[in-house]
Amino acid sequence: MRSVTRKACLANSAALFLLTPLALVGCSHAPEYTIFGSFFPVWIFCSVGGLLLMIAIRAVIARTSVAAYLAAPVLLYLSIATFLACVLWLLFYR
C-alpha cells in the first residue's frame, strides 16, 4: 500500500517538474510603456480601453431599451469589457 502512494507522489512530482517550463514560457517579456519614468504594462491600457468601450456600448444598450431583457447585466457588461480588452490587445500588440 505504501509503495502505491509513493509511486503516485513521484508521478505527481515528475508531472509538475515537466509541466512547469511550459507554464513559464509566456513570462519572457511583456510590452510596456515608460511614462514619467515609470513602466506601465500595456495590458493596463487595454483594460482601460475595454472599459471605456464597454461604457459606450452600455449607453447604446440603455438607449435602445434592450437592458430590460437582459438576464444578468453585470455578467454581460463584464464579459463585454473583457472581450474588448482582449480585442484591443490582439489588434495593437500581437
Residue ranges of domains in the chain: 29-93
User: What is the Cα–Cα distance from 72 to 43, expressed in whole angstroms?
Assistant: 26
**Mean pLDDT (whole number) for 37-66:** 89
Q: Say whether pTM exceeds 0.85.
A: no
- DSSP code for 79: H
* pLDDT score of 82 more than 90: yes
Angle at 29 between CA 38 and CA 87, to 5 degrees: 90
Residue 44 or 19, more confident = 44
**Mean pLDDT (whole number) for 4-8:** 72
* pLDDT score of 8 more than 70: yes
